[in-house]
Structure 1
Amino acid sequence: MDGVDRVDGIRTVEADGGDAFEALCVVREVLDEQGWHVGVAGAQPDVWPSGMARDQGGGLTAYRWGIEGVVGVVDTFAAVPAQSTVTVADQKRETERLFAEIERANAGSAN
């Protein structure tokens, strides 16, 4: 169940998802509304898992993307400075922008 609960005076957020990355995104969306950022690599703007990574690895690893394509692999839950992370909406926008750049570059190299 997704939601925010208080346990012994501590606020908790829980989420289910099809994989670990999806569950992380659901938790982050709740926290985004409160202005909180989770300091994990899976919350950085240039990180997004492939479908295969999600299917075969449960979303525990993800790709770091650049305009040239995949530039690295990260542990979704590796600790990073919270200042290097963004909201889920911003992360989706950035990865969509990167994917479009990659597609344009690939189309240009095919000519």
Structure 2
Amino acid sequence: MNIEQAVELIYTGLVSEESVPVKLRAYHELDRELLAQVQEALDFAIEYYKGEPLIPKKLAAALVDIYGAFYFNSGFSENELRELEDIGMDLQEKSIELFED
């Protein structure tokens, strides 16, 4: 994977019409495969951009309010709601790591 592919995968998996949050808002089952690919690409991007003063706008846009994208009040079981909240918190922590100096 190169950085362009990683950024595109992160954007597609978190923002596009086929993204994990959009599917969840339509009450589809969690796409664990896509989510795992996004997390792997995000880990790659964190390492690639470590110490860099700028990151692509597309990458930043995918991570704006990422916690909120996985926060739901209803439509899922209590266990699923907790799991989705945990996913949102994990992605938020990764985005903080990406933006840190």
- Report the structure number with the largest CA radius of gyration: 1
Question: TM-score when scaled to structure 2?
Answer: 0.31
> Which structure's relative contact order is higher, taking Cα pairs within 8 Å and 6+ residues apart?
2
Provide the TM-score with structure 1 as the length reference.
0.29
Higher strand content, 1 or 2 = 1
